[in-house]
Amino acid sequence: MKRFASLSLAILMTLCLIVGSERRAWGYVDPGAGLIALQTFASVAAAYIYFIRRRVQAFFMRKKPVQGVVLPVPAKAGDSREAA
């Protein structure tokens, strides 16, 4: 617990130093950049949900091996089963 407290304090101090010492950014961000970021996030989330859904569905839909099933075999010419 002591290790966790010192680690979280170090992370908090680092974040405070980063925020406190930030410089002004003189760059220009296009208004459409936020929409592109949102679209990227949405597409990654949709892909993640699709793959997780398929794995969960495959886990619950596994077919158990069937035992004792006899497959039909085509009869040969002159077989006694054709007599009737």
pLDDT at 77: 67
d(CA 43, CA 31): 20
Within its chain, how far is the Cα of 60 from the centroid? 16
Domain boundaries defined on the chain: 32-62
Q: What pLDDT is attached to residue 79? A: 59
The structure's pTM equals 0.37
The type of residue at 78 is G
Residues 1-42 pLDDT 10s: 778 888 888 999 998 888 887 777 777 767 777 888 889 999
